[in-house]
Chains A and B, each alone.
Chain A
């Protein structure tokens, strides 16, 4: 088969430690990126870009954020939605206070605010673990939701209580607001997500990422090896919340255009959680798979009745997709707790050793 690493000898540790040591993987990634950057903006319809690709990228980024915390650092969080909200509201406040500041900088700065909030709510993780920690993230979720409603300053005292994305330009091209084309928004979001994914991959394979995994796998041993739980856990919270915050800002500025508190509620937190579980905890590829799966499945299900001219209410399909996703979560936890990412890897292993089924 074509997927073989035979003949690819690593002569330096640098080669051996590369993100994608197998040449075929590198080629595959380049093809995917080429399609995403060059082909899709030309070929794809506006609907496909703004209703499928953009949300998919937003959720993939949020899932990376949650996966860093949950899959790599082992700290359960049910407050992703609220952390995304902090990013979105910070971005809105920053760009209305400093209208001339480059919107890309504003988007990336807004993540720092959610990182700060994440650290505050991560503080209890130093004393409590597991399910108990889930409660503190729930506290964050509900407290922040309440802030988004009650603190009028956050949405500039709009009567609607919603944040309306103003138009911002980059090199004379509208990138946010009603006049921004889906292609522009898509390309910007794709660039940000691609770069941030690379950065996450780099951090995860270095000292800091390793210290998170040490805490996850065996916190006592990690401490006895010199990892300071304070730094490791709080840095994981900060890093993860930064990603969630930027994802939230992108969600409002590049996709929704305006948002109220409902966009950041607990159901949203669960949505991202499902993406991480189905995609695979502790895998960046899994984040993309999970986001694609959870976001695209309902879209497909919604498209089925009209396609077959069936008279089924949209709400009914919504319920059915809820059942399917729920059942799949259980299925994955039973059959493959490491999600789609592991299935993908097993598939590749099988390909490598084909036609010998049991060679490892």
Chain B
């Protein structure tokens, strides 16, 4: 018992004492976690869009983020003005969406979801190879200022300390909220949104009432391409644009587990939980494990969550039939 007490204290009490003793630092940590949570949420959002409409678990979403950001930066480097480069990039993502739909998805209608997942893993390889071939493997700097984002920061004096807010982070949060709201309206109020939900429920039934599956798929892949572009800009503004992002994007999988594969609010909430959770865990509990726990925290959290609630936060319990 004597030996156990300090260990228990280090795990269950000391971190909270640290939190309370430096509240401004705590707020800073939570804010950092919040911002990276937003970015996870944005990647997860791209997943959800595609999963809802086609039951394809798009493993390539992470590489699409990198790809979009690279196209944007490279176009600018070639002398294209920032805003025109942005529009051109949206065009490129549109073409990409159409190509994927035409070449890959159309051929794999009604296949098992594991096969579709693996097809997107193949897609990841193609995009990664092509991206490195065309743009080179070097990290690039995002054209944050040229797109009109402020790179400055604001200080907030609180609890005898200072909390720093990067303007780009605030912009990221605002844009994420606007985008989720816009998608919400799009899904529930527009004709295409309704068609999309119909496709999500049942491919064949949707086809039989005259909805074009191919059109819907192209639209959602385009939409998630735009989400990828926004994610790429926001992420690139915080660090460099590089292929390392692809691995980080896998964390969105953990986010999806928490939020459920088909829920847009779930993606947001899940993203924030993972983002804030892993920052707090890294800062306050990480030293106990020797640091670097950010690498696996999200997955282990998702794993534990799965064991207790396999259907996700917003999912309904599935009754199996035979």
Contact = CB atoms under 8 A, between A and B. Distances in A.
**Chains A and B share a contact (CB less than 8 Å):** yes
B152 interface: no
Contact of A138 (B103, B122, B253, B291): B253
Interface string B164-196: 000000000000000000000000000000000
B303 A135 contact: yes
A200 interface: no
A132 B254 CA distance: 9
Contacts of A324: 129
B296 A329 contact: no
Given A135-B253, A135-B299, A333 B122 contact: yes
A99 interface: no
A325 interface: yes
B57 A131 contact: yes
Contact of B295 (A131, A145, A320): A145
Contacts of B250: 138, 266
Contacts of A220: 320, 322
Indicate the size class of the contact surface on chain B: 35 or more
Interface string B250-276: 100110010001000000000000000
Interface stretch (B21-29, B80-88, B113-121): B113-121
Contacts, number: 127
Contacts of A134: 117, 253
A142 B126 CA distance: 24
A298 to B, nearest CB: 11
Contact of A128 (B122, B296, B300, B310): B310
| Main secondary structure on B side of the interface with A | helix
A329 B128 CA distance: 14
Contact of A146 (B114, B253, B295): B295
Contact of A320 (B133, B292, B320): B133
A201 interface: no
Given A76-B114, A132-B257, A337-B115, A327 B130 contact: no
B122 A330 contact: yes
A333 B257 CA distance: 26
Contacts of B57: 131
A305 interface: no
Interface of B: 57, 103-104, 107-108, 111, 113-115, 117-119, 121-130, 132-133, 137, 247, 250, 253-254, 257, 261, 289-293, 295-296, 299-300, 302-303, 306-307, 310, 320, 322
Interface of A: 76, 124, 127-128, 130-132, 134-136, 138-139, 142-143, 145-146, 149-150, 220-221, 224, 266, 270, 273-274, 277, 315-316, 319-330, 333-334, 337
